[in-house]
Structure 1
Amino acid sequence: MSKVVVISGHPNLAASNTNRVILDEISQAVSEVEIRRLDERYPDFNIDVEAEQQALLSADVIVLQFPFYWYSVPALLKKWLDDVLSYNFAYGASGDKLKGKACILSFTVGGPESSYDPLGYNHFEIEQMLRPLQQTVYLTGMQFIEPVYTHGMVYIPGVYNELSDVQSKAKAHASRLCERIQNVIHDPAIQIERFVREWFARFDVLPADSAEFIRALSEDITLDMMGDHYQGHEGFRDWYTAARRTFKPGCEHLVEQIEVREKGKESYRIELRVRLIAENYKDSPLGGQAVNLLVNEVWQVNLVGNLVQITDYQVMATEQAK
């Protein structure tokens, strides 16, 4: 089951007329959701970076929920972004920890939609103002999902709107956000990409028992490992045994590119570019030399429900590796 982590960036959620309603609705409608209230956790702005990073690592879908303050996020959420999305975690040479996760911006806007227009008093459209946040998501390698936002979400007694109206709009906003989350969770490309990253994460450990890999392979799978051919489950076991005799546990597979293409009903082609960084044993065919190898991989998979099954697996050297 996919886990959803919601980062609430409202500086005083207890006083909110809309964000609080949205989060209450989400907590009831979405299974396996964790809502992290930054205002409760960090009233002094002293962010526990490790705790926040661990929360993000556990997530498949990350939602940033906030009121739109001065055309951006509130200061507390900006501090969270600055601290948590750090070098070698969210970006940089080894900063791929969030890669492939889905990110949804969900926010409330006080001004009417007509004001976010070249002829309105805010002059620019909301989408234009979101570009720094959109680029932030892109740089981390996360998938930028179409944002959910609602205008006219301010209530000032006797001045702006009625409380019942803005809270009704907040519930409608929550409904749209829930639908967006469900669409992401059940998107085949996202399910497959998550499977690929979990596959390599487990392979990096090189467990003695190959059963968890076998479960994801069709009985008649064909494997072409840079010219070495294997067939079926027994073929995979032979190849995996040889891999364990060559590489030390603690390998690192970095998925640099991934593209999922639909071939037919429940059938997909996955094109990957993967970098393997590994140590190997001295008595292996590689003679103990460290490996830093870039390869192309092509997988054929079937997706039935939430189950991904690999039917064909090819690994080919890139031009750089030849």
Structure 2
Amino acid sequence: MITKNSTTQINSLNRGNMKTLVVLSHPDLESSIANKTIIEHIKKTVPTSQLEVRHLESLYPDYKIDIEKEQAALLNAGILIFQHPLYWYATPSILKKYLDDVMTWGFAYGTGGDKLKGKQFLQSITLGGSKESFTPLGYNRFSVEDILKPMQQSVYHMQMIYNLPLYSYRNAYVPEIYNSMWEVKETAIAHAKKLIEKIQDFSKGNQEKVEAFIHKWFSHFDRLDENGYFIQYLHKDVEFTFPGYGKMKGHPEFNEWYRSIKEKLEAPTKHEVQNLIIEETERNQFDIRFQVQFKAREKESQKEIDVVETENWKLIWDENSDRPIIEKYIVTI
């Protein structure tokens, strides 16, 4: 059993780098219903200190993109959103030019081109057609995800964190012919709410997930679960130290240590996590410190164990798999 009997401290890095940059592309935003509504709702909800919206067609009507200015905006953000309608199964032309001009060698890819590494990316798209039209039997033939494969690969190439696209259907409005203005607005508002939720989730980071994982980890130790549960969360070259065993490294040595523990102790054991401090030193890299009140009984001697251990972990959160990996695991008494 695990008891959260003290306040958890979560010391985040300066999350100013979690500012959201929305690169908006729409050739006629003023006459737009869907994209204009989405942007208006985002601006009303997300604090201005944490949001920048750059409408490419307004900034660069001559298509002469200021590369340094756009790269500076990217460096100042931790979340990048492309907001646009789907034009000929791709982006509007200036957004494609933005990719060509701004995502340069040495900046977004190639030698030294890791400036966007680890940033969250989301493509937010308004579609004119119905859901049924993006099926093998529909007039668009392909799913939205299939159509967006080139963008997905581009994001991977730039080492950003790719998130499944957010899109909504039936955003086109033709008076007396296709949809109603109110229907399109309602769809856009629903789209905006989902997008805002995504932004909020990205901004929170993964500290809460790390805390939940720590408590889950010890619940499995309490029942002396199979070693396969623990191995999946340990780096293949994990460094770990336990009282009486010294320094060890890697999965084989962990397995040997855990085998000896299961032979020695009766199940269940009891861990009470205390004074948990989670510090995010770099994005998704955590230093974790806490105490554990550990209680158990030895099988052979029936001796009762009741000690307070101090634990220091180094853990990374892999956002692609949405799973933690422990790199260092130090236990002292």
Whether 1:161 aligns to 2:136 is no
1:271 is displaced (CA, Å) by 5.9
Whether 1:44 aligns to 2:57 is no
> In the alignment, what sits opposite 2:278?
303
Whether 1:70 aligns to 2:45 is no
1:187 is displaced (CA, Å) by 3.5
Which of 6, 15, 20 matches 2:36?
Answer: 20
Which of 93, 96, 121 matches 1:103?
Answer: 121
RMSD: 3.2
Aligned 8 A contact 1:266 1:303 in 2: no
Paired letter, 2:204? H
**Structure 1 residues 266 and 168, CA, compared in 2 at 3 Å: closer, same or farther?**
farther
Query: What SS does structure 2 have at the residue aligned with 1:146?
Result: coil
Which of 139, 152, 172 matches 2:157?
Answer: 139
Aligned 8 A contact 1:66 1:107 in 2: yes
Query: What SS does structure 2 have at the residue aligned with 1:120?
Result: coil
| CA distance, structure 2, for counterparts of residue 12 and residue 306 of structure 1 | 43
1:168 is displaced (CA, Å) by 1.1
Whether 1:60 aligns to 2:58 is no
Aligned 8 A contact 2:280 2:287 in 1: no
> In the alignment, what sits opposite 1:227?
none
> In the alignment, what sits opposite 1:122?
140
Which of 120, 124, 131 matches 1:113?
Answer: 131
Give CA-to-partner distance per residue, 1:65-102, whole Å, 9 cap, x none: 00000111000110011111111100001100000000
Whether 1:91 aligns to 2:109 is yes
1:58 is displaced (CA, Å) by 0.5
State TM-score, norm by structure 2: 0.60
| CA distance, structure 2, for counterparts of residue 272 and residue 47 of structure 1 | 45
Paired letter, 2:53? I
Equivalent residue pairs, number: 221
| CA distance, structure 1, for counterparts of residue 236 and residue 38 of structure 2 | 38
> In the alignment, what sits opposite 1:5?
21
Give CA-to-partner distance per residue, 1:176-205, whole Å, 9 cap, x none: 00111112222317999xxxxxxxxxxxxx
1:45 is displaced (CA, Å) by 0.7
Give CA-to-partner distance per residue, 1:144-167, whole Å, 9 cap, x none: 112110010000111111111101
Give CA-to-partner distance per residue, 1:118-173, whole Å, 9 cap, x none: 01111111110010000111110000112110010000111111111101110110
State TM-score, norm by structure 1: 0.62
| CA distance, structure 2, for counterparts of residue 26 and residue 143 of structure 1 | 21
Percent identical across equivalent pairs?
39
Query: What SS does structure 1 have at the residue aligned with 2:165?
Result: strand
Query: What SS does structure 1 have at the residue aligned with 2:72?
Result: helix
> In the alignment, what sits opposite 1:151?
169
| CA distance, structure 1, for counterparts of residue 59 and residue 213 of structure 2 | 43
Paired letter, 2:149? R
Unaligned runs of 5+ in 2: 1-14, 219-232, 238-275, 290-311, 315-326, 328-333
Aligned 8 A contact 2:114 2:159 in 1: yes
**Structure 1 residues 19 and 191, CA, compared in 2 at 3 Å: closer, same or farther?**
farther
Give CA-to-partner distance per residue, 1:242-266, whole Å, 9 cap, x none: xxxxxxxxxxxxxxxxxxx954469
1:30 is displaced (CA, Å) by 1.2
